[in-house]
Structures are given as structure tokens and as C-alpha cells.
Chains A and B, each alone.
Chain A
């Protein structure tokens, strides 16, 4: 996916509020964003709703995209922020309901799945923290560089590397994967 074409579309959107150009940007990147949010949330319907919110946020603050780094990196930053905001508001809602005497629904829409319905990847992701999961998905599913992940998560590159190292170690320990690291 050419970044110069992305930058051209962004320029058209910012200068003339061109919704057709924005639609083209959405078409080009919806798959990455939706896949990222699906892996992060584990809920396809929620992920697609969040992806829509993410693109609306992106439309509103597209002028803040400086062109430094890839557009998909910037977009995944918006997606990650949208995901964290939704988690925070869901948590607040659950707290209010609990304090009001209601039993909080389960996070995944109140339905549980039997263990064998989870894919290997979902099992892998389950042992990671939210931050580790986001960084691992950005790195291994979206192919972002460590610097791009650092920009997207507002973390230093060194921290990104250590989070990836820790994530790999957790997966290795939990699933008895042989260490192929030859340096």
C-alpha cells in the first residue's frame, strides 16, 4: 500500500473536506484496523463498531497527521486510543451499575464460549496484558516497526522492545513453544 497515495488522499481530505477521498482511505485501511481491533477486543461486533468510531475520530483530527511515519501507524494509534476509551467507559459503567446494586454483565457481551471454540491465537492473546496484546498485534499482525509502535502507543522504542520480549516469553512459557532464537 503506497504511502504517497495515502498522503495525497489525506491532503485532499484536509484541504477540501473531500469525503470521497476519505472513503478511499477507509477502503484501503479498514481491513487492518478491523483485524487489529478484533484481535484486541476478541469481539467482532464490538470491534467493527469501534472501527467505525476510529474512522470518525480520524476524520475529525486528520489535520494532526504530520506525514511522519506511515498513515496506517497513525490510524492504529487512533484505533488503540478509541479501544482504550471504550474500555474505560465500559469499566465506569460497570462500576456505576455495581454501586447501584446491579450485577455487572460479563465483558464479552454476557456470553461465554466453551474452551474449544477459541482459536490458538485467541489463547495466545489471553495470556498477555492489554498493552502487550496491542503491541504484539501491531508488530506481528500489522507489520509495524518498533518506532511506529512507539509512536502509536506513546512509548519509547526500548520499552516496545522489552514488551515484545516479555510477550514472547509469556507465550513461550504458557504454550511450551521451543525457543528457536539463535541470535
Chain B
């Protein structure tokens, strides 16, 4: 009830209000490609966002390759210190390193592909 009264009171305009309204009034502006420019910017942002994660993954992978290969070399040199029996036992119980890497790459490709398909 109170809000209705407030709205009614707002609608009652005096001559000064009407004068100000006519002073403030301006003709509608033609679009003239404005909305197209905005949508183009929005699309660009969307694509940038979609590409950010895969690009970051690729860059991160490229940066990580060198220290990772160093780590693998270090581990393989350490393996000579480990008794041969233990190595045989471990290699029998876990899959090959190459298989793990291949699996990880396939998983990453699948995830990125799914994301693109969703988009």
C-alpha cells in the first residue's frame, strides 16, 4: 500500500518536472554498428578465455620437459644403487613409464577435445 502511494506520488509531476523532462530529453541514437562492435569484442574475449587453459597447459608442459627429463635421468642413475631384485619386482608390479606418459597425454587431449566440443 505504502509503495503504491509512493509510486503515485512520483507520477504526479509539476510543471517544473515536465520542463526538466523536456530539457533532458534527447532523440534516440542510431545503432550504427555499435552493437556489432560490442558483440565482436565479447566473442574475442570468449575465444581468448577458451584458449587460455589449453595454451597454459602446452606452455607449462614445454617448460616442464627439461627438468622432468633431468629427474628421469637422475632416477635411472639412482636405480643402479637399488638391488636388481627390487627393480624387477617394481617393474612387474607397475606399468611401464612410457605407458603412463602416453596415457596422460591421451587423457589431456581427450579433456581439451571434450571442452571444445562442449563450447
Contacts and interface: CB of A to CB of B under 8 A. Distances in A.
The reply to whether chain A is a binding partner of chain B is yes
Interface in B46-85: 46
B89 interface: no
Contact of A19 (B7, B23, B39): B39
Contact of A52 (B23, B38, B46): B38
User: How extensive is the interface on chain A, given as a class?
Assistant: 35 or more
Nearest to A178: B16
Interface string B25-60: 110111100111111011101100000000000000
B97 interface: no
Contacts of A30: 29, 31, 34-35, 38
Contacts of A50: none
B20 A140 contact: yes
User: How extensive is the interface on chain B, given as a class?
Assistant: 20 to 34
- Residue of A23, A38, A52, A56 with highest tally of chain B CB at under 10 A: A23
B15 interface: yes
Interface of A: 17, 19-20, 22-23, 26-27, 30-31, 34-35, 38-39, 48, 51-52, 55-56, 59, 120-121, 124, 136-137, 140-141, 145-147, 157, 168, 171-172, 177, 179-183
Given A30-B34, A31-B28, 4 more contacts: A35-B26, A55-B38, A177-B19, A180-B16
